[in-house]
Chain A
């Protein structure tokens, strides 16, 4: 049974483009065409405005919360070509850093797994992807991948942290040898997988081709301890693909078509335990998908908007077991 448990009135004066819960589900960050980023405390069904952050000079497209071990940090990206990192110090939220290294709208920001440190990937309409790494004392190091996608990059998503080889606990003080990877989707209809080399430079490791129009979103599924990696992608061509890679070396990716919608698919997102994929489908609906026993993906629920009843007695269909 799905029910609305809280309705937060953001008082944004224009279209909302993104809303993100923090790590614990206690705070909500929203951003809008009204150029502001707002933060609310939503514990116990309430809503208290904590911060109204101004600093962008254009519509703000996305917000992203960093892992709480780094403190209370939020990143936002905007049409004004800037990425701003906001931080809470002594109970107040302030602009901590501004990154203005792009020539065009920055469309997507995504924090890397906390195991890698404090690293932010940003994808922009100028086709470049920049990576900001916090080096301490308020300093951020910037690495830029120019021409990552021709025409523009629409989405970035990090792979979950997996220690290669043994998963034995590393002795303290020794940093495990992580292989940092992320995926990006762009206007060249491609999904690209990027890997950090030993010299610290980022190299294009793979190209995933299946879409016939702009890739609007990519989402790398959280790890559930299985050796497979999974990426979801959606595109202007109305298709949503699930890409899986089985071998440890991560070289062969095979796509499976989740569904062909009759309209642009804008956004895909995995639930925390990676077992449900939410897709913004056609007809202004959000559909939820789960993998069934025979490896097929089935739609388990439609979340639609409309007037009238709050919720009928809706329940999710059981997975097929036969």
Chain B
């Protein structure tokens, strides 16, 4: 087993006395809770003022930064674009397209840097100004690294153009060159060389260039040896520099801001046609010479060195450790993966490094109230564990508003995440019921295809009706459509409402048939039969005969079923007795009405029509 390169880092939680007490902890959906405690329950808790604080800790809090928001948003667009055009990336144009993507990422970083710089300048207090400034330098370092990776890994600059790219790289990033002489040093010779290289056409082969350079180099050496510049130490020094003399270069150390500036300058004068494979030797010695044993390499130096050594995995590893969020490594690794540069290392989490890093990055986004939407797309492009990770995270998004809930649901439905859809709809239905918004609860249960909950809500509707004599949310019930079939109770609710509508339209015969069918089809709960029979009363009392004899017999049967099945109320309770009395009266009334109707129906049916 390989060991970790260093000891795991320690985070100190302030205010908790480590000498005396232990730390209790638990996970939230995106954070951790810690607090002081004493696990040993047998101990009598000393009445010592213990720490009443709970600390909520998170990693990746960069996600909350306002300025970085733009970085996350815009890079998301580039990322998704890259995934989508993957199939179209073929042949010769592939490389240039990938380089273009890389440049896009870098311009986003630079834009963010610029904005952060403005914020730093405008900062009211020096402390936050410093913080922003340090963020700027971190972004600058990220761009520096990315740029180098682009040159070495994506552009795959061969010998010749390699140095030109490196020159541009250094010039772009070490442009804090403020002294004139440094300008001279930096620009004078390249201009001489630019005409030498004959850039636009660049029809010369590498060999031709090398020969020309050798010739020029030898000429310089001759001048030095002939002591042509002996009278002028500056010119002599300049000549030495142009010959790539390291000592001479190092004398100008203040003008070279760092070792990679030194490296490129050195290469320019001693080996401009350096091959990529040889870079690492020059790099290592440049670093050593420049630091001169006085200081040790910083994390950034190690990252750049790893790049010069073409050790991509090392670059990514070091960046993961040095940077405070996963943004950089996730996007860079993904791009390098598209360049087919990563060997597939099987990891437990994510089938390869790319997926592993993307999962980490996307998980971090879910901590944010609106950036989580970006995270969805990242999970989509993780074939192994993206889906299950999305399932776990998306259920935890607080559904504060209807709008947010609908957004989340749409995302789940688009991906056929039926379990999550159901779960979310159930949660919303429950919330609605608790707030007495029955219509909303009903539509959520229908969307959840939750028959049990739909039954529950329908019962509530019916109960409300019994108490108040009218329905709420008529629109919804009237337009249930095929959703009515979800549960028997819901079907009954829909049909019962239909009965009322038909009755209201004075289509009494239809209403009567519907009412009867509700009872005979067993769709109506028995507890509701009395109400239905009572609803039948006005139909029975009409001038014209509505219920046929046959129908009346059926109604009578229902009534008998109902009354015979009722248990005898034997309570001494007065209320109970009163209820019984009301019930008895109702039953009597019904029996009378049914009998009368039956008589009239028989007579009508018995007589010949038209007479």
Q: A289-322 toward B: CB 8 Å interface, digit per residue (1/0)?
A: 0111111101111111111111111111111111
Given contacts A68-B430, A304-B10, contact A8 B54 (CB under 8 A): yes
Q: Is the interface of B mostly helix, strand, loop or mixed?
A: mixed
In the bound complex, how far is the Cα of B349 from the Cα of A156, in angstroms? 27
A126 to chain B, nearest CB (A): 15
Chain B residue at minimal CB-CB distance from A3: B61
Q: Which residues of B (356-408) have their CB < 8 Å from a CB of A?
A: 356, 363, 385, 387-389, 392-393, 395-398
Interface presence of A285 (CB below 8 A): yes
Q: Which residues of B contact A (CB under 8 A)?
A: 1-2, 4-6, 8-18, 21-41, 45, 47, 50, 52-62, 313, 316-317, 320-325, 345-349, 353, 356, 363, 385, 387-389, 392-393, 395-398, 418, 423, 426-427, 430, 434, 449-452, 486-487
* B347 and A321 contact, CB distance less than 8 A: yes
Chain B residue at minimal CB-CB distance from A68: B427
Q: Which one, B13, B27, B47, B59, contacts A316 given CB within 8 A? A: B59
Interface presence of A271 (CB below 8 A): yes
Given contacts A67-B427, A305-B17, 17 further A-B contacts (CB under 8 A): A1-B60, A4-B57, A10-B54, A14-B47, A16-B37, A18-B24, A23-B29, A69-B426, A172-B450, A173-B486, A225-B387, A300-B4, A304-B11, A307-B12, A312-B12, A315-B323, A319-B347
* B53 and A273 contact, CB distance less than 8 A: no
- For A172, the chain B residues whose CB sits under 8 A away are 449-451, 486
How many A-B residue contacts, CB cutoff 8 Å?
A: 286
Q: Which one, B35, B324, B356, B430, contacts A16 given CB within 8 A? A: B35
Mind listing 23 A-B residue pairs with CB under 8 Å? A2-B58, A4-B57, A19-B33, A19-B54, A20-B33, A25-B396, A42-B56, A43-B398, A69-B427, A173-B486, A266-B39, A269-B25, A278-B27, A293-B348, A294-B2, A304-B10, A304-B18, A304-B23, A305-B18, A307-B12, A314-B9, A318-B317, A321-B317
A321 to chain B, nearest CB (A): 5
- For B418, the chain A residues whose CB sits under 8 A away are 169
Q: Which residues of A contact B (CB under 8 A)?
A: 1-21, 23-26, 28, 30, 33, 42-43, 59, 61, 67-71, 79, 89-90, 105, 107, 114, 169, 172-173, 216, 222, 224-225, 264, 266-267, 269-273, 275, 278, 280, 283-288, 290-296, 298-322
Most buried by A among B4, B8, B396: B8
Chain A residue at minimal CB-CB distance from B436: A90
Chain A residue at minimal CB-CB distance from B397: A24
Q: Which one, A7, A26, A287, contacts B53 given CB within 8 A? A: A7
Most buried by B among A5, A285, A290: A5
Q: Which one, A266, A273, A311, contacts B11 given CB within 8 A? A: A311
* A267 and B25 contact, CB distance less than 8 A: yes
In the bound complex, how far is the Cα of B61 from the Cα of A4, in angstroms? 9
- For B347, the chain A residues whose CB sits under 8 A away are 293, 319, 321
* A284 and B427 contact, CB distance less than 8 A: no
Given contacts A105-B41, A273-B389, A301-B9, contact A4 B14 (CB under 8 A): yes
- For A216, the chain B residues whose CB sits under 8 A away are 39
A297 to chain B, nearest CB (A): 10
* B322 and A19 contact, CB distance less than 8 A: no
